[in-house]
Amino acid sequence: MSLIADRPHSRWAVFRSFELVAGLVLVGGIGLAVILSPWLFPDNGMGVNLLARLRAPFSDWSHILGTDPLGRDVLGRVVAGGRISLLVGVASVAGGAAIGVFMGLVSGFYRGVWDMIVMRFADVQLALPFILLAITFIAILGGGLFNIIMLMIVSQWVQYARLVRGQVLALREREFVLSARSFGVSNFNLIWHHLLPNLLGPVIVLITLNVATNILLESSLTFLGLGVDPSTPSWGGMLADGRTYLQTAWWVSVFPGLAILLTVLGLNLLGDWLRDRLDPTGRTRQ
Amino acid sequence: MAGFLIKRFLQAIFVVLCVTLLVAYAIRLTGDPALMLSQGAGSVTEDDLARIRTGLGLDRPFYVQYLEFLGGLFTLDFGRSFLGGTPVNQLIGRALPATLALALASLVVSIVISIPLGIASATRQGRWPGQVIRVLSLVGLSFPNFWLAIMLVLVFSISLQWLPPSGMEGWQSFLMPALTMGIILTATNVRLVRTAMLETLKQQYVTVARAKGLSERVVLYKHALRNCAIPLITYLGIQFGGLLGGIVVVERVFNWPGLGTLAFQAVADRDYPVLQGVIVVLSMLIVLVNLIVDIAYGLVDPRIRTE
């Protein structure tokens, strides 16, 4: 289905830069806090203090966002939990994009049986929502960081392969590719120097949006008890713990969720801004 | 048209075959069901285990078992639960209506919110309502569904005490789960209505309708909206998978007696036949809905068939 991308209007130009600035501030701020977390919170949000259980937020400067049922600093745990989320988001997307771009280039460029196999495989993976695939495999293989990242790679490379393949099919008939070919440029050079640079724009957009998606997925799985080990601070894990204390201590459930929302929102703002720059025909729209 | 139908149908069958094969194989990786069944049964001899395996048909080659499982699909026979031996199709039959009811309620919520908002954002494009709706839709896209559910419980059940925090009793219990998934669907649907509307408003029949002196409301809701319906319905088909995936998670927060809750119980109990049944039924539903939408779309728009 073709959905025409929103073209920037003159009045919208202001909003475009607002998207960029807000996205950069959110993602940059959270990224910086996570990178600096070993110095900001040397105990990794693990320091138990039973004398300071369930302190309300904004009442005590040493625990600005309050403490959890074990007296651990909520802010420290939120920042430490960010490490898991960002790690899963970045690692899974890097793996998925690398495999998908390669498969898409090969199947779009050489076509044939290989192309057919990749695309039928893609149909299957697109038919099964990730969360169902994840429940099945994690129930069997167990959770943990590595398994989650692998599952995301296995289920997402297809998106990049489809995107890249479609572009290669369009690009390979263009004059600059045909002329390069007529000069006797090797297939490898054709793909590497002529095709790849011309199709990276939409791939970058998809990468940004998928980091956001995967942070959401990881937190859902961990919340459901199918993800990261509960002893490691993580946003989904904190939310699962906090549910029990919803009646008495709202802050334990509110702040980790807010961290997810703001991180994902920042990435979505950046992705939306990038889409207008790098993907004028809107191929990365769902 | 016949060619398109056959091709699309074969594709759907292929997808179902692959999903079932994948799930059946994955379940086999978990180890010996005979050992699992006999856990806690005291002293179990190798003879007992062999008898259980023969009883369950596990001593036969994988492909025979898989074919039998496939054969069972036609009669909706998914075997029996490891716990208590209830037929899996009974368990699914009890949980499926709850999940489908929630899916339907979420769709209704999302359509009711996103059509007026999408139209408002398309007709006031450069002005502030358009921009505000656009930012809100990005915020909606960024919400973790389970956290949104928890926040609704915090506000409506704990603070205001208006709504029951969990379970499925009475229409009130539908409000929060349907609102959770509805809001998340709305985030994408508003943008979709907006783009479809912008396209439609450029058409000549809209100009003609306006020239006839019809009120703007009639032009928008009667003439333009009807012509936006096709892309909207197609997209609902594409969304269906994501919607079911989301519901599976949200059911967990609200203790909703649907397929998601059944699946997680099965995971906790290592009750693999139940898990297998739920996953297969959910993926078959998704494939079926997409097939219907594609065929309907192909019927309405001949250009699709030739692609």
Per-residue pLDDT reduced to its tens digit, A167-185: 888 888 888 888 988 888 8
Is residue A243 within 8 angstroms of chain B, CB to CB?
Answer: yes
Domain ranges of chain B: 2-74, 94-305
Mean pLDDT of chain B: 83
Q: Give which of A53, A71, A54 is closest to A248, Cα–Cα.
A: A54
Q: Which residues, 6+ apart, have CB-to-CB distance to B53 below 8 Å?
A: B32, B34, B59
B-chain CB neighbours of A12 within 8 Å are 126, 131
Tokens linked to A207: 């990468």
How far, rounded to the nearest angstrom, does the alpha carbon of residue B104 sit from its chain's CA centroid?
A: 10
Asked if A265 and B138 come within 8 Å (Cβ–Cβ), the reply is: yes
Asked if A140 and B231 come within 8 Å (Cβ–Cβ), the reply is: no
Nearest to B146 among A3, A220, A272 (CB): A220
Is residue B160 within 8 angstroms of chain A, CB to CB?
Answer: no
Task: Check pLDDT > 70 for residue A13.
Answer: no
CA–CA distance, B153 with B145 (Å, rounded to integer):
13
Q: Which residue on chain B is closest to A267 by alpha carbon?
A: B142
B-chain CB neighbours of A246 within 8 Å are 150, 153-154, 158
B-chain CB neighbours of A219 within 8 Å are 144, 147
> In the predicted model, what is the mean pLDDT of residues B263-279?
85
Q: What is the pLDDT of residues A61-107, one digit of tens each?
A: 777 787 877 778 888 888 988 999 999 999 999 999 999 999 999 98
Q: What is the pLDDT of residues B100-136, one digit of tens each?
A: 999 999 999 998 999 888 888 888 776 777 778 888 8
Distance from CA of A186 to the nearest CA of B (A): 31
Class of domain B94-305: mainly alpha
Asked if B275 and A128 come within 8 Å (Cβ–Cβ), the reply is: no
* 2-41 of A, contacting B, C-beta below 8 A: 3-4, 6, 9-12, 15
Task: Check pLDDT > 80 for residue B89.
Answer: yes
Q: Which residues, 6+ apart, have CB-to-CB distance to A152 below 8 Å?
A: A88, A92, A93, A95, A96, A130, A214, A217, A218
A-chain CB neighbours of B287 within 8 Å are 127
* Residue entry with tokens 């309502």: B129
Nearest to A132 among B27, B151, B279 (CB): B279
Task: Check pLDDT > 70 for residue A33.
Answer: yes
Q: Which residue on chain B is closest to A137 by alpha carbon?
A: B26
Distance from CA of B97 to the nearest CA of A (A): 18
pLDDT of residue B305: 59
Q: Which residue on chain B is closest to A217 by alpha carbon?
A: B144
A286/A130: higher pLDDT: A130
Q: What is the pLDDT of residues B15-52, one digit of tens each?
A: 888 888 888 777 777 666 677 767 666 677 788 878 87
SS3 A75: helix
CA–CA distance, A9 with B95 (Å, rounded to integer):
49
SS3 B80: strand
* 234-263 of B, contacting A, C-beta below 8 A: 234-235, 238, 241-242, 244-246, 248-249, 252-253, 263
Asked if A254 and B15 come within 8 Å (Cβ–Cβ), the reply is: no
pTM score, whole prediction: 0.86
